[in-house]
Amino acid sequence: MTTPKSDFLHSLWDFFCSLKLTMFLLISLAVISIIGTVIPQGIPPQEYLAQISMAKINLYKALGFFDMYHSWWFILLLYLLTVNLVACSIKRLPHIWKIITLPVTILDDGLERSLTNVATIRNPADASIVKEQVVAFLKTNFAEPLVTEVDGVWHLFAQKTPWCRLSVYFVHLSVIIIFIGAMVGSLFGFKGMVNILEGESVSKVMLRSEKELDLGFSLRLEQFTLAKYANGSPKEFKSILTVLENGKPVPDYTNARVIVNDPLTYKGITFYQSSYGNAGNYYFSVSDLDGKNPVSLTVPGQSSLNLPDGSSLHVIEATDDISPYARGLSGPAVQVEIHAPNGKTESLVVYANHPELNIQHAQKHGMGPVIHYKGAQKRMYTGLQVAKDPGVEIVWAGCLLMVIGIYAAFFMSHRRVWVRIQDGNITVGGNASKNQGAFRQTFESLVDNLKSGLTKEKP
Amino acid sequence: MTSSLLFNITTFAYLVSMLLFFVFLTSRTKLLGTVAIAVAYGGLLSQTAAIALRWKESYDMGVGHAPLSNLYESVVFFSWTIVLIYALLDIKYKYRVIGAFVMPFALLGMAWAQLGLNTGIEPLVPALQSNWLLYHVITCFLGYAAFAVACGISIMYLIKAGGEESADKPAGDGLLSMFPPIRVLDDLNYRAIMVGFPLLTLGIITGAAWANYAWGTYWSWDPKETWSLIVWFVYAAFLHARITKGWVGKRAAWLSIIGFAATIFCYLGVNLFLSGLHSYGGGK
């Protein structure tokens, strides 16, 4: 039966059943995963691309390094790991299954020799009476035994948690369930983003795949507020949202509050507080160092303004009161970024109440011009993550199975006890699938208790 | 009594305990080992009280939250979990001398936190305002601590195994005679990882559950997430190594040390060198 074909299949099977492959895959996955933590994933930021050479960029692109966790070679490794753990499980499962479903119930000489825990108690009383006593003892002190009689010899077999031998396979199964959940999520779910201006509503969101998705209902932002602690660090980002069906507010979803760590779910679609900003205008005045030639500038909150010298200016962050961030200062201030035509980027803080600081900054950087901040028009918008993931329940089921499986695999043990009653001798044997040291103690105290129990009951 | 004073007492106790363990190792005076562990227990008690007090102090300041919110607090908590796991191991297996290789980790954490980090109690930023913070941080750090203890044991294993190879004489005297037999060290290494691995798994799962609850994505290949998975892979490899021929003993010890190095990178390296979601509010 050794045709070349079956030979090949055999060695392929052996290859996938090998634990060496498991070791190789786990270590490879660990090492390869590092790449994506060093190279930015998704759309790499401009600053990063400016740092590395064009040749490198092209190489990384060709190798899929900018989206490595979805690259064919990373997915292939995950598939190989899956095949490997399925194959290993299939290979070992029948043997384990046999141990569980067809236990050896008779303590013969061969089994006795193979056990490390064996003890003999001398008891000349009638075998059938002793048998009853031992059965009762095991029932209360260990587990209910199975009784077999072979040629006038009594064999008792009792076991605890045989199923825990399967726990490793449950862990393996849980990995596959998690993968299935992830696939269901990517096939039937979506992830997107939407920005809503105060007072406005949207019915479409932009997906990560850059497609637009119609929600089937509308979402209106009533208000966005930002609360801060006394030290200026953010305390709460809050969007008040109303769901609209055919333009009418849905009662239970009117003025619903969404904050970070407390999303809103409607019709299986969940909205998460993610970002915010001011879409209103920022006002600046630009002049020469001596204050001559003042020009008013209006910078839209969501885009940048091109300056006459070819550079562009945009607002990073604004505050109505700078005092928590800078001691001794007060009033409105903005942090702006200026991109010069030569590719240089400058970030600076511009104040409304401290023109002297604005002049100082301009002096430090040559001749000016000086930028002064004149305040902002408030028009807040909220940025929401939008997600629907029907696979997430499957993933949690997998996680639960994994935790239970790992616990059982490490901390539970299949313990078996055999007893043979023959010629006035009670022979006890025991075996545990794990943690032999602890079982030895259990076994010894079990035998001691049995011994003293039998002596007590003697008439 | 302030939490800051108690933290200083703790740091001092861990220093004294570590030094006593070193002297115990060279002098082989049993009493010293007992005193060393008693001092470590004292430090653990004082640290427990300090953490509880800091928790209360944050409420007194009106920004009440569990003291697990920034780098300082996490390093202090890490140090606490290391001594806790070591104490549990000592109660169960009574191999005192392991303290000489575990207490340095706890001391290093406390010394760095007390001397080098911003100790102020800060209000909780919106991203951390969730009960998941507690479950996630506690499971992760108990796991990390078990790996720290396993790493200490693995270093002992390699020293002892190396010493037995080079010296022909049986290890009757010298430092190494104080070490548990290498068979025991190998077993303890496995047992520590057996505690750490399920906790790390729980830590990753609670992190994923939190991410899903807060952002709608349970996994986004953020550097922190990826590194936690790398650590998980390394210890999964360690566990499978034990049933693979040729991977026991020294190689398993090395795998445990590499695993802890990856753990430390996951915990600190990602924050210091890479960008991502876990800034600990300390990246200002």
- Report the DSSP pairing between strands A333-339 and A312-319: antiparallel
Confidence of residue A24 (pLDDT cuts 50, 70, 90): very high
In this predicted model, what pLDDT tens digit does every residue of B157-190 receive, in sequence order? Answer: 999 998 887 765 554 557 788 888 988 899 899 9
| Cβ–Cβ contact A38 with B under 8 A | yes
Candidates B63, B199, B217: best to mutate against A (most CBs of A within 10 A) is B217
Report the pLDDT value the prediction gives residue B284, as an integer from 0 to 100: 25
Our CA-based measurement puts residue B167 at a distance from the nearest CA of chain A, in whole angstroms, of 30
Taking alpha carbons only, the member of A292, A217, A206, A205 closest to residue A248 is: A217
Q: Quickly count helices (H) and strands (E) in chain A.
A: 12, 21
How distant, in Å, are the alpha carbons of A123, A153, A154 from that of A427? 10, 11, 10
3-state SS, residue A141: helix
- Report the DSSP pairing between strands A425-432 and A146-150: unpaired
Confidence of residue B279 (pLDDT cuts 50, 70, 90): low
Candidates B94, B188, B191, B205: best to mutate against A (most CBs of A within 10 A) is B205
Quote the CA–CA distance of B151 and B192 in Å, as a whole number.
9
Report the pLDDT value the prediction gives residue A375, as an integer from 0 to 100: 85
In this predicted model, what pLDDT tens digit does every residue of B14-46 receive, in sequence order? Answer: 999 999 999 998 888 889 999 999 999 999 999
Candidates A68, A261, A275: best to mutate against B (most CBs of B within 10 A) is A261
Report the pLDDT value the prediction gives residue A76, as an integer from 0 to 100: 95
Residue A144 has pLDDT above 70, yes or no: yes
In this predicted model, what pLDDT tens digit does every residue of A335-369 receive, in sequence order? Answer: 888 888 777 788 888 888 888 888 888 887 765 67
- Rounded to 5°, the CA angle A252-A255-A260 comes to 105
3-state SS, residue B81: helix
Of A37-51, B77-91, B214-228, where does mean pLDDT reach its minimum?
A37-51
In this predicted model, what pLDDT tens digit does every residue of A191-207 receive, in sequence order? Answer: 999 999 999 999 999 89
Residue A134 has pLDDT above 60, yes or no: yes
Quote the CA–CA distance of A133 and B32 in Å, as a whole number.
52
| Cβ–Cβ contact A438 with B under 8 A | no
Chain position carrying tokens 């029948």: A94
| Cβ–Cβ contact A407 with B under 8 A | yes
Confidence of residue A281 (pLDDT cuts 50, 70, 90): confident
- Enumerate residues 6+ apart whose C-beta is below 8 A from A175: A82, A85, A398, A402
Average pLDDT of A149-160? 93
Residue B81 has pLDDT above 50, yes or no: yes
Contact B270 A37 (CB under 8 A): yes
Confidence of residue B280 (pLDDT cuts 50, 70, 90): very low
Our CA-based measurement puts residue B91 at a distance from the nearest CA of chain A, in whole angstroms, of 15
Q: Residue B130 gets which letter from DSSP?
A: S
Kindly state the tokens that stand for B259.
């695993």
Report the pLDDT value the prediction gives residue A240, as an integer from 0 to 100: 95
Report the pLDDT value the prediction gives residue B157, as an integer from 0 to 100: 94
Q: What residues of chain B lie within 8 A of the CB of A236, using their CB?
A: 126, 129
Average pLDDT of A287-304? 81
| CB neighbours of residue A50 within 10 Å | 8
Q: Residue A253 gets which letter from DSSP?
A: G
| Cβ–Cβ contact A233 with B under 8 A | yes
Taking alpha carbons only, the member of A63, A34, A75, A40 closest to residue B233 is: A34
Taking CA–CA distances from B187, the nearest residue in chain A reads A435
Report the pLDDT value the prediction gives residue A344, as an integer from 0 to 100: 78
Q: Which of A27, A270, A403 sits opposite B201 (nearest CB)?
A: A403
Q: What residues of chain A lie within 8 A of the CB of B123, using their CB?
A: 229, 231, 233, 235
Phi (first) and psi of residue A350, to 5 degrees: -115, 135
Taking CA–CA distances from B270, the nearest residue in chain A reads A37
Candidates A22, A24, A26, A37: best to mutate against B (most CBs of B within 10 A) is A37
3-state SS, residue B131: coil
Q: How many CA atoms lie within 13 A of B264 on its CB side?
A: 12
Quote the CA–CA distance of A274 and A237 in Å, as a whole number.
9
Q: Which of A235, A392, A402 sits opposite B201 (nearest CB)?
A: A402
Of A76-80, A281-285, B98-102, where does mean pLDDT reach its minimum?
A281-285
Confidence of residue A459 (pLDDT cuts 50, 70, 90): very low
Q: How many CA atoms lie within 13 A of A157 on its CB side?
A: 15
Interface of A with B in 82-111 (CB under 8 A): none
Q: Please tell me whether the peptide bond between A369 and the residue prior to it is cis, using omega within 30 degrees of 0.
A: yes
How distant, in Å, are the alpha carbons of A121, B40, B58, B65, B95 from that of B50? 56, 15, 12, 15, 28
Of chain A, the percentage scoring pLDDT greater than 90 comes to 52
Q: Which of A26, A236, A389 sits opposite B126 (nearest CB)?
A: A236
Our CA-based measurement puts residue A376 at a distance from the nearest CA of chain B, in whole angstroms, of 25
Report the pLDDT value the prediction gives residue B265, as an integer from 0 to 100: 94
pTM over 0.90: no
| CB neighbours of residue A210 within 10 Å | 7
Quote the CA–CA distance of B47 and B76 in Å, as a whole number.
9
Q: Which of B125, B212, B223 sits opposite A37 (nearest CB)?
A: B223
Contact A33 B229 (CB under 8 A): yes
- Enumerate residues 6+ apart whose C-beta is below 8 A from A337: A313, A314, A316, A345, A346, A347
Report the pLDDT value the prediction gives residue A341, as an integer from 0 to 100: 79
Q: What residues of chain B lie within 8 A of the CB of A396, using their CB?
A: 209
Contact A358, A367 (CB under 8 A): no
Quote the CA–CA distance of A409 and A163 in Å, as a whole number.
10
| CB neighbours of residue B273 within 10 Å | 11
Contact B213 A19 (CB under 8 A): no
Of A241-250, A321-330, A408-417, A423-432, where does mean pLDDT reach its minimum?
A321-330
